[in-house]
Structure 1
Amino acid sequence: MPPLTAVIALCIPFVVLWSVRARRWAANLNGPPSQSFLLGNLLQLVAPETGRDWLLNASNKYGGVIKIKGLLNRPSLLVSDPLALHHILVKEPTVFEEWQAFTITNSLLFGDGLVATIGEQHRRQRKMLNPLFSLQHLRSLAPSFLSIAKELEQLLALRVGDDPQEIDITGASVSVLMPAAPFLPLLVRLGPARLRRRVVEMIPFRLIQKLKNIVDILAAQMEVIFREKQSLLKGGQSDKHDIMAVLLKANQNSSKSECMSDKELLGQMATLVFAATDTTSGAIARLLHLLSQHPEVQARLFEEMTSDERELNYETLASLPYLDAVIRETLRVYPTVPMMFRQTTADASLPLLHPIRGVDGHDITSVHVPKGTDVFINILGSNHLRLTWGQDASEWNPERWLAPLPETVTKNRSIAGVYSHMMTFLAGKRACIGFNFAQIEMKVVIYTLLRSFEFSLVPGKEIGWNMGLLMTPVLRGSDSIHSHMPLLVRKRK
């Protein structure tokens, strides 16, 4: 028997035994049938055009905790139950730790930034960053947001001219890594960085190579900007409206045990410039697409924005209830990041707000979760939970935010996310630190663009949204995974 064949034959019994033992704890949990022995349900979960619907259908059919199959059909959990999510994100975040594949992906892309670290390092970084994202500081940034939005408005005006023009609104690449994410922990064990780099360069996938080039350019530019800001700080110059300048100054004034290394600071810059920008721009793109589909909502927003001619600032934005309602509903129904990932570091038990029916026909009120279990946080499913939001939970209806929300939404404040009773920005110590930043940015951009332009769909071009690390727009029928969202843009008279 050839050596390789002998090794494979020797390994098969151990693989089978591992798979059987892994399945035993989840035997009474319901879930969709596995698609393949090797990948389980993973490809269904991340299927470009159908992944979102599959995620919602599974939640509606099986409830708030679902058994799905991962690599080699190993059981994993897909969780949307509010109490279970509170337990994962708030009560026991060290037991339900960030998924290794996710932190490794972020580390490879952005360095040692906030989204790539865990434990004490993450706590120390977040403590340093928290003041930068406080409402008090963000209020002072509104004029800077407006200045940048005005530049975008001027660029669009040049493109549009006097006649309506078809313009591609957005583009992103990071989402293509989603199907490969489970294998990334293996990549970092291949050896030194130079070898891993060589492996990535050999991958015959054009989009991966494009992403590699983007990361290379980003890293080089971050290094240049970082050194420039360090020089300005040493010279006594610091702009209080520049988040990185404020961070560098705060880091300089911190104790040795709390301050960040240059590598960590570069990671924060890359995270803010690339990751945070991608998520917010994706949310703005989704909103523009929705407004193109719902011209009556667009018209009402325009009326609200033009009825008040006060100077645009934080207070002005806060006094526009319909704009706020539209943004909240968009972030609820269409979260840019549909899922997040955790893995248990110890045995745990998940309590359920809404009992689920077991395979044996009895109700389950808590779920035992063994150490090493992959847990998929179903952000999308939680935001669409009918037991919380009502039977119209999956409908995009901004009006729901202009009336009192149902008690099923408001009465359980202790199990809600950090933003508007939804999970879009998660909850607990690893909730999105920039959720207020994102809202202000969205409001400023939409306010600026809608006062100058009208957006509509391009006849004959249907836009779909692909599932991935981020939801990204594509042209239906184009067989392309590149982001592409053409809209018809015309100047307002």
Structure 2
Amino acid sequence: MLSLSPAASVAAALAAYAIYSILRLFYNEWTSPLRKMPGPKSHHWLQGDRMEFLSNLDSKENLWRQEFGPSFRLNSFLGFSQLQTSDPKAFQHVLSNHYLYQRSPAGRYVLGRIVGPGVLVVEEDEHKKQRKIMNPAFGPTHLRALTEIFVEKSKQLRDNWLSKASQNGGAVKLNVIPEYSTAALDIIGKAGFNYDFNSLTAHSDSGVGVRDELHEAFVKVSAAGDLQKNILGLLQISVPFLRPFLPKTAIDKTIEHAQATMRRIGLGLLEDSKKQIIASGGESRVSRDLLSLLVRANMDKDVPEGQRLSDDDVLAQVPTFLVAGHETTAASWTTYELAKNPELQTRLREELLAVETDTPLFFRQSMDDLNALTYLDCVVRETMRAHAPVPVTARIAMADDVIPLAKPYTDRDGVVQDTIHIRKGQSVIMPILAVNRDPKIWGSDALEFIPERWQRTPAISTSVPGVWSQMLTFIGGPRACIGFRFSIIELKALLFTLVRSCEFELAVPADEVGRIGTAIVQLPMVRSEREKGSQMPVFVRPYVQPA
């Protein structure tokens, strides 16, 4: 009788288990209830409908919904089933049950490489613990104290633009995407952890500022975030048990060095915050930045020891603040709409110019002054609806489940179904942008940019379970975007300052502006210059009031 060595026995057992797991995976797919749902035929034997879906979020996906209804089956890797649904009842179920429906392990790994184990990445009890400590820092009370920072940095950006326009004969052509990102980095630096990147100074004509260590580390780790450009990166994402054995790539080394730099500087910021809080006896007026508020909440004597965040957990929020706070897609799309529609730009400017900005207390007491500007509020809401930065989100079922539906579907056997049976490991795709632009919810003009829709009566439909303004831009449920108020007030401050002083005109025809469809965030681009990546070219000139 042939006997195997211990090593060979282990290898044989592992091989048998791998074969069993693969066969079980295919069996579960072949017998999955999702296979009876209507849906498009697979576009590719390996990738399924993935590229077709991502590259046609504004068109193809809506055509599929018109043909198959709000809930249908999509083909993923090797033709495996995914559920796509824009049914409000299904949305509510998935977003509310965040222990049952989580981000995919691969998605958490990729995002975690950039931001670490912060609130954007962790799940279940760890997410609940981090969120509970962080919530007060993102509440209205604390954000009121940060509004002055938003306005201060917005003015600095305005001065840069006006200076460049003056040096170019009265008008300057700008790609506003990096311009807004520069301002946002300075804003999140000061508002997030009382750290001044001086990016706007470095970006000005004087050039006296420098991109410091933390800025450089953030840029490097963000640029190295795309692991899917090589086979080793794909293996890291797809096969977790291989990660310890794979050789380190240049991307790995760049990320490790950048993360070490962010950790070292973050530790210094954390220690400074702790010292200030201890020295002040916990007084809230010592520092207004989000990190200090987070540290103060974490040190509160009423927080049980088991519910406190470790220093590593607190440090993980520094890159989280940077990544989330650095996102300014909405500002670029608002500028596009104002440049495309001069009458909207004029109406908004008239409202903003009516404000008495010389009043010393303006913007010093609260953010309520910005929120009181009704047409500005309409413009911001319409931008967030029509140009949701993140077009789609997905969750993985952690166990078998039954999802209720508001609108039943007819399966391929002709049976009407008012629920969807989903199995552990299957994906639920939720098309944020498509729901935000659904004519059945928003009316026949849903694809148009109309700020006035927010002044209509009756009120906008409340069937969408979003955390803000009856839309899915910031999603909903326990994992809704914690910083949505921060984003809204930041955008309002930028628009208030810039539109009062500058006029915008598109530097390319409006129909030349498209979206980079495969990006996680929907960035603008110029169709005839795709090779240049994200762009929003705009002519900026100073606004001169009529005599």
TM-score, reference length from structure 2: 0.78
Question: Residue deviations 1:137-177, cap 9 Å, x none?
Answer: 21222112111211221222222225110111114867984
CA contact (8 A) 2:38 2:411 kept: yes
What is the number of equivalent residue pairs in this alignment? 470
Relative distance call for 1:434 and 1:174 in structure 2 (3 A) is farther
The alignment status of 1:323 with 2:376, answered yes or no, reads yes
**Using the alignment, how far apart are the partners of 1:20 and 1:35 within structure 2?**
22
In the TM superposition, what is the alpha-carbon distance from 1:232 to its structure 2 partner?
Answer: 4.1
**Using the alignment, how far apart are the partners of 2:476 and 2:270 within structure 1?**
31
1:117 to 113, 122, 127: 122
In the TM superposition, what is the alpha-carbon distance from 1:212 to its structure 2 partner?
Answer: 8.6
The alignment status of 1:198 with 2:248, answered yes or no, reads yes
In the TM superposition, what is the alpha-carbon distance from 1:202 to its structure 2 partner?
Answer: 8.0
The alignment status of 1:67 with 2:111, answered yes or no, reads no
**Using the alignment, how far apart are the partners of 2:483 and 2:125 within structure 1?**
20
Correspondence 1:415-430 to 2 at 5 A:
416-430=465-479
SS at match of 1:480: helix
Equivalent position of 2:90 in the other structure: 84
**Using the alignment, how far apart are the partners of 2:259 and 2:454 within structure 1?**
39
**Using the alignment, how far apart are the partners of 1:357 and 1:267 within structure 2?**
46
2:176 to 169, 175, 178: 169
Equivalent position of 1:299 in the other structure: 346
Question: Residue deviations 1:176-213, cap 9 Å, x none?
Answer: 84977986543643334xx668136389xxxxx8x898
Relative distance call for 1:183 and 1:287 in structure 2 (3 A) is farther
1:141 to 146, 168, 180: 146
Letter in 2 for 1:33: K
Equivalent position of 2:289 in the other structure: 242
Equivalent position of 2:484 in the other structure: 435
Letter in 1 for 2:537: P
Listed as ranges, the gaps of 5+ residues in structure 1 are: 1-6, 204-208
**Using the alignment, how far apart are the partners of 2:20 and 2:368 within structure 1?**
66
Question: Residue deviations 1:333-368, cap 9 Å, x none?
Answer: 111011112111111111111223433444332111
The alignment status of 1:346 with 2:399, answered yes or no, reads yes
Letter in 2 for 1:115: L
**Using the alignment, how far apart are the partners of 2:128 and 2:226 within structure 1?**
27
Listed as ranges, the gaps of 5+ residues in structure 2 are: 1-13, 182-221
Letter in 2 for 1:399: E
The alignment status of 1:99 with 2:150, answered yes or no, reads no
Q: Which has the larger radius of gyration?
A: 2
Relative distance call for 1:398 and 1:184 in structure 2 (3 A) is farther
**Using the alignment, how far apart are the partners of 2:425 and 2:431 within structure 1?**
19
Correspondence 1:75-474 to 2 at 5 A:
75-90=81-96, 92-161=97-166, 163-171=170-178, 177=226, 185-186=237-238, 188-192=240-244, 198-199=248-249, 201=251, 221-233=265-277, 235-236=279-280, 239-253=286-300, 254-278=303-327, 281-309=328-356, 311=359, 312-313=362-363, 314-405=367-458, 409-410=461-462, 412=463, 416-459=465-508, 462-467=512-517, 468-474=519-525
**Using the alignment, how far apart are the partners of 2:503 and 2:409 within structure 1?**
46
**Using the alignment, how far apart are the partners of 1:354 and 1:360 within structure 2?**
18
RMSD of Structure 2 on Structure 1 (CA): 3.1
**Using the alignment, how far apart are the partners of 1:289 and 1:100 within structure 2?**
36
**Using the alignment, how far apart are the partners of 2:408 and 2:235 within structure 1?**
34
CA contact (8 A) 2:391 2:521 kept: yes
Question: Residue deviations 1:9-58, cap 9 Å, x none?
Answer: x99998577436414322321112211121111122233xx344333333
Relative distance call for 1:23 and 1:294 in structure 2 (3 A) is farther
Letter in 1 for 2:523: T
Question: Residue deviations 1:87-115, cap 9 Å, x none?
Answer: 0011x222212222222222111011100
TM-score, reference length from structure 1: 0.86
CA contact (8 A) 1:95 1:346 kept: yes
CA contact (8 A) 2:503 2:543 kept: yes
Relative distance call for 1:240 and 1:190 in structure 2 (3 A) is same
Asked which structure has the greater RCO (Cα within 8 Å, sep 6+), the reply is 1
The alignment status of 1:30 with 2:38, answered yes or no, reads yes
CA contact (8 A) 1:222 1:269 kept: yes
**Using the alignment, how far apart are the partners of 1:256 and 1:174 within structure 2?**
38
**Using the alignment, how far apart are the partners of 1:248 and 1:202 within structure 2?**
30
In the TM superposition, what is the alpha-carbon distance from 1:121 to its structure 2 partner?
Answer: 0.5
Relative distance call for 1:362 and 1:340 in structure 2 (3 A) is same
Equivalent position of 1:46 in the other structure: 54
Identical columns (%):
27
In the TM superposition, what is the alpha-carbon distance from 1:423 to its structure 2 partner?
Answer: 0.8
CA contact (8 A) 2:49 2:74 kept: yes
Relative distance call for 1:187 and 1:372 in structure 2 (3 A) is closer
Letter in 2 for 1:101: A
